[in-house]
């Protein structure tokens, strides 16, 4: 039987879509049992809907503090008994309490060769610094932002004509391969 995974998103949802496609294959070890978006207008919600995947919007602004927001999130996730919680463009920082609740079960994809370029605007910073390579990294989520143990990484060459937009597209293509592949290897 396929294991449950929960995917947390905040926006476009292209990584979510790549995990859905992989999970639709018979031999993939997991299925997405729930998608939660931190943002009501996330395009990824439409992707979940189209694929008939249960989804919720849980916006921080509906709660008086972060603890209550996360309690709601935890309640919804626990019901799925997930083997993995996959952050896919989820743009909120999770608390120690949340991370400990799902110890070693939360993974994230980040658009840089970690430990380089943690945080935002990774492509712009890599180009400005004259880096030869960029890429993407799947890592465990710990309290340190983008600092957990690296599980998988893909490197790509930055060409002199690359802009943050072209580089982002190239890296994203790799993200769509590496993320489902990593989930598959973790759960097989
Ligand atoms: C992806 O490039 C992902 O690596 C990045 O946000 C984008 C989400 O795209 N995540 C981070 O920067 C997390 N620190 P998507 O919504 O189309 O999957």
- pTM to 2 decimal places: 0.98
- Full DSSP string of 37-100: ESSTT-THHHHHHHTT--EEE--GGGSSSHHHHHHHHHHHHHTT--SEEEESS--SPPPHHHHH
Indicate if ligand 1 lies below 6 Å from the C-beta of 111: yes
Query: Which residue's CA lies nearest to atom 3 of ligand 1?
Result: 89
Of ligand 1's listed atoms, the one at least distance from the Cα of 9 is 16
Query: One digit per residue, pLDDT tens: the chain, 188 residues?
Result: 999 999 999 999 999 999 999 999 999 999 999 999 999 999 999 999 999 999 999 999 999 999 999 999 999 999 999 999 999 999 999 999 999 999 999 999 999 999 999 999 999 999 999 999 999 999 999 999 999 999 999 999 999 999 999 999 999 999 999 999 999 999 99
Give 28 Cα–ligand 1 centroid separation in angstroms: 22
């Amino acid at each position: 039987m396929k294991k449950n995974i929960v995917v947390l998103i905040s926006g476009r949802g292209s990584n979510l879509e790549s995990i859905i496609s992989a999970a639709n294959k018979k031999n993939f070890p997991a299925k997405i049992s729930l998608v939660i978006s931190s943002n009501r207008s996330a395009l990824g919600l439409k992707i979940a809907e189209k694929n008939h995947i249960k989804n919720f919007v849980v916006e921080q602004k509906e709660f008086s503090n972060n603890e209550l927001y996360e309690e709601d999130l935890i309640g919804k996730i626990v019901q799925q008994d997930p083997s993995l919680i996959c952050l896919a463009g989820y743009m909120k920082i999770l608390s120690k309490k949340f991370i400990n609740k799902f110890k070693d079960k939360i993974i994230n994809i980040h658009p840089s060769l970690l430990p380089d370029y943690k945080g935002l605007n990774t492509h712009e910073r890599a180009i400005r610094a004259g880096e030869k390579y960029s890429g993407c990294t799947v890592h465990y989520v710990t309290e340190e932002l983008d600092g957990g143990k690296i599980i998988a990484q893909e490197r790509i060459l930055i060409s002199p004509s690359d802009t943050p937009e072209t580089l982002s597209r190239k890296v994203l293509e790799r993200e769509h391969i590496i993320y489902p592949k990593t989930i598959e290897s973790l759960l097989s």
